[in-house]
Amino acid sequence: MHAELALLNNCLVVGAVLFGLGLVGFLSRRNMLIMFLSAEMMLQGASLSFAAWGRFHNDFGGQTLVLFIIAVAAAEAAIALALVLTLFALRGRLDIAAWHDLREAHLPPPLIDEEGEQVEAAPPRPRPRLSPAGLPPPLPPDMEHRLRL
């Protein structure tokens, strides 16, 4: 096989594998932040394929497309992280399963393992003891889920 053809073939295979790994991450991970990260991984696979095709056809069209992909990924990151922060503040969890009540009513209950709901509470870390000074500030009631931070 010709050298350029072999390079194109290999790059397309690597791009396809990156896309597939991102797909698995997006479909089966439940943390919203990791779902976002997997979407970025799929974009990386597509970028690699575009750059490989651009090299094979010996023009800059592929690289131009990758540049646009990077710009769109930056915009997507801003929007997606703002949405994730909003969703987290509304339910207090990063779990996408917290939003399963948005499904249609006639669908069967979501497939979640029962033991998945029991969160393993880590033992509380010993905190440094300081001499008390002043008063603790009153927390607004909607911030209670951050008390454990």
Partner 1 sequence: MMTEARYLPLLALLLGAVALWLLLPGKKAWPRRLGGLLGVTALGLVFSLLPRAGQWAADSLFLLLAAVAIFSAAAAISFRNPVYCALWFGQTLLAVAGLLWFLGAQFLAFATVVVYVGAILVLFLFVLMLAQPEGRAACDRISFESQISSVAAIVIVGWLAFAVGGALSSGGGAGEGAPLDAEALADGVLTSEHVWRLGTELFTQHFLAIQLVGVLLLVALVGAAVIVSRQRMVKKSGER
Considering only residues 108 through 137, tell me which ones interact with partner 1, judged by CB under 8 A.
Answer: 111-113, 115-122
Binding of partner 1 by 93 (CB under 8 A): yes
Tell me the C-alpha distance between 32 and 98, whole Å: 11
CA distance 70 to 47: 9
* Residue ranges in 34-73 that form contacts with partner 1 under rule CB under 8 A: 34, 36-38, 40-41, 44, 47-48, 51-52, 54-61, 63-64, 66-68, 70-73
Give the C-alpha distances (Å, rounded to integers) separating 7 from 34, 43, 107: 31, 20, 47
Q: Return d(Cα 88, Cα 143) in angstroms, integer.
A: 11
Site string for partner 1, 2-41 (x = CB under 8 A): xxxxxxxxxxxxx-xxxxxxxxxx-xxxxx-xx-xxx-xx
Least separation in angstroms between residue 38's CB and partner 1 is: 6
